[in-house]
Amino acid sequence: MRALSDRLILEHVQTLGHEHPPIPLESVDYSVKDPVGMSRRFGRVLDFLARVELEVERNVLELLVLLPGVGEADRMFYADVWADQEIRHGVILDKLQNDIGRPPAEPDTTVSTGVRILGMLAHFPAIHDIIRLLYYLTGAATERQAVLAYNRLEAGLIEMDEQAIARTVIGQIKRQEPGHYAFYNMSATLMFQQGELRPWQVFLARQLRKLSFEPVGMYGDRTRQAEFGGVAIALGLDEDLARIARDVGRVEHSLLWASKNGMEVPPYILKAFEESVAAFRSGRSFAA
Ligand SMILES: [Fe+2]
Ligand SMILES: [Fe+2]
């Protein structure tokens, strides 16, 4: 990767803002040929994605607590670019799921006590840096999961001949996700290139990642463990979880674990995905 700089990341964020305004609502064609078929095959996927996209509101509140000392590029990214794009994704998906006869999304936008406590510790600069790194790694993993999910969903909708939704809903949404991934990837990588982290901070980041990694949308709530599993199965992602885990964990693998011989993928990522799929299969599922 070419040498990064704060300037380069700021330019990336500014470009995202210019090139990817929130999807114009008038550009979306909600025509569905077979609402029943779409609901049966992808209903739970749409429910899940609408909820997670709308919960970005909670993510922004958490960021204000967790990262009181963010720099210009971070602030511009989450406040001026990312949140508006993601919430629009949620609004569009929520309307689509309503159109095909499913209940509206119920995003949870409360900030947990754990986050508030961590936020108090974030006033120590050394802790702030660790939290910032974890924020970037979580972001990269989340955006990768989004890209994989939207790719599969788009392919499935084309297969069902639901061209309008595939093109104007999912096609438009999925084009905005890689720019988010690139932001987190570059930001985490820059912290290492600039030598911002001491060995004990990297050590602590590894331990925290091992302890806290979970599939997107779970927020430490065990009752939600099966949701990602159900979505993965509906999209056929369960057939190749090892490859998915490697893809999702690529950034943290190269930054945190590359020096650990023989490790191809952080094992906690694959384990979290497998447990989620198993939880769904064993019937601890949310309503279809
Ligand atoms: Fe999104
Ligand atoms: Fe995104």
Distance, CA of 116 to CA of 66 (rounded, Å)? 8
In the 3-class helix/strand/coil scheme, how is 63-104 assigned residue by residue? Answer: HHHHCCCCCHHHHHHHHHHHHHHHHHHHHHHHHHHHHCCCCC
Ligand 1 center from residue 101 Cα (angstroms): 22
The tens digit of pLDDT for each residue in 41-83 reads 999 999 999 999 999 998 998 998 999 988 999 999 999 999 9
| CA of 86, nearest ligand number | 1
From residue 6, give the alpha-carbon distance in Å to each of 109, 159, 191. Answer: 31, 43, 10
| CA of 173, nearest ligand number | 1
Ligand 1 center from residue 259 Cα (angstroms): 32
Distance, CA of 147 to CA of 127 (rounded, Å)? 30
Contacts of 40 (CB under 8 A, 6+ apart): none
> Do residues 183 and 13 make contact, with C-beta atoms less than 8 angstroms apart?
yes
Distance, CA of 210 to CA of 266 (rounded, Å)? 8
Place of tokens 């790194």: 133
pLDDT at 82: 96
Ligand 1 center from residue 283 Cα (angstroms): 28
| CA of 87, nearest ligand number | 1
pLDDT at residue 238 greater than cutoff 70: yes
pLDDT at 1: 54
| CA of 89, nearest ligand number | 1
Distance, CA of 288 to CA of 286 (rounded, Å)? 6
Exposed, middle or buried by CB within 10 Å (0-12, 13-18, 19+), for 51?
buried
Q: Which long-range contacts link 122-129 to residues 24+ away (Cβ below 8 Å)?
A: 122/65, 122/66, 122/67, 122/68, 122/69, 123/68, 125/69, 126/198, 126/201, 128/67, 128/68, 128/69, 129/191, 129/196, 129/197, 129/201
The tens digit of pLDDT for each residue in 88-104 reads 999 999 999 999 999 99
Ligand 1 center from residue 50 Cα (angstroms): 9
Distance, CA of 175 to CA of 247 (rounded, Å)? 18
Structure tokens at 159: 């297969």
pTM: 0.94
Contacts of 287 (CB under 8 A, 6+ apart): none
Structural domain boundaries of the chain? 6-220
Ligand 2 center from residue 123 Cα (angstroms): 27
Percent share of the chain, pLDDT over 90: 81
pLDDT at 143: 96
Ligand 1 center from residue 154 Cα (angstroms): 14
Place of tokens 């114009």: 24
| CA of 174, nearest ligand number | 1
Ligand 1 center from residue 125 Cα (angstroms): 30
| CA of 92, nearest ligand number | 1
Ligand 2 center from residue 217 Cα (angstroms): 13
Ligand 2 center from residue 179 Cα (angstroms): 8
Structure tokens at 107: 């995003």
Q: What is the mean pLDDT of the chain?
A: 93
Q: Dmax of the chain from CA atoms? A: 56
Place of tokens 């001491």: 198
Ligand 2 center from residue 56 Cα (angstroms): 9
Ligand 2 center from residue 173 Cα (angstroms): 9
Distance, CA of 164 to CA of 226 (rounded, Å)? 30
Ligand 1 center from residue 175 Cα (angstroms): 9
The tens digit of pLDDT for each residue in 140-177 reads 999 999 999 999 999 999 999 999 999 999 999 999 99
Could you give the 3-state DSSP secondary structure of residue 262? coil
Ligand 2 center from residue 276 Cα (angstroms): 22
Structure tokens at 152: 């599969």
Ligand 1 center from residue 136 Cα (angstroms): 16
